[in-house]
Amino acid sequence: MSVEELSQEERDTWMRALKQWSLAREGKAIERTFEFADFREAWGFMSQVALMAEKRDHHPEWFNVYNKVEITLTTHDAGGLSLRDVNMAKAIDKLV
Amino acid sequence: MSVEELSQEERDTWMRALKQWSLAREGKAIERTFEFADFREAWGFMSQVALMAEKRDHHPEWFNVYNKVEITLTTHDAGGLSLRDVNMAKAIDKLV
């Protein structure tokens, strides 16, 4: 899978598709916050993302407190956003 | 277990015992950063902490990126640090 940084045009197109995600770090990353009923549900979600991340060898930066999970995706090898982040975001969205 | 905020004297005593932890948020929280070989190991550690947190009904605020885990402990009900944080920190330290 390409790890080239998306062009600005590609990025804009993808951001329209990934409605729930916002650009962060001056366009170098995307982020989304998830809220669940409690920690048990949040952790269940995180466990699914963890397995997915390990399989893809593409890992999120994420923060959790109780029922809240904040995920940031970026591709260090690309120095910004790549298709790997877009595909990961789409896969994460399918979990919820 | 007490959820009263620790006195400054109790806090100072405990911080000498919890050598690896630092005070954060103006003494209202403690934090420690853990580094592992890779995500798989970091996640294994987080899974153990998650089960412990759920059992104690005392949940960390934590951040993970790849092999790094930053844990912050505070007791919202106490408005700061309590014995629950100290005991949780000691239990977490035993995992590594």
Q: How far apart are CA A20 and CA A18, in angstroms?
A: 6
**Which residues neighbour B68 within 8 Å (Cβ) at sequence distance 6 or greater?**
B33, B34, B35, B36, B42
CB contact under 8 A, B50 and A63: no
Note if the pTM is more than 0.90: yes
Alpha helices in chain B (DSSP H): 8-17, 39-56, 83-95
Q: Is B15 on the interface with A (CB under 8 A)?
A: no
Q: Please tell me the predicted confidence (pLDDT) of residue B27.
A: 94
Q: How far apart are the first and last CA of chain B?
A: 25
Name the amino acid, one letter, at B42.
A
Instruction: State ipTM.
Output: 0.94
Name the DSSP class of A37: S
pLDDT higher at A55 or A2: A55
pLDDT in tens, A31-90: 999 999 999 999 999 999 999 999 999 999 999 999 999 999 999 999 999 999 999 999
CB contact under 8 A, B39 and A54: yes
B42: number of Cβ within 10 Å: 21
Q: How far apart are CA B90 and CA A72, in angstroms?
A: 30
pLDDT in tens, B28-80: 999 999 999 999 999 999 999 999 999 999 999 999 999 999 999 999 999 99
Token output for B68: 């790094």
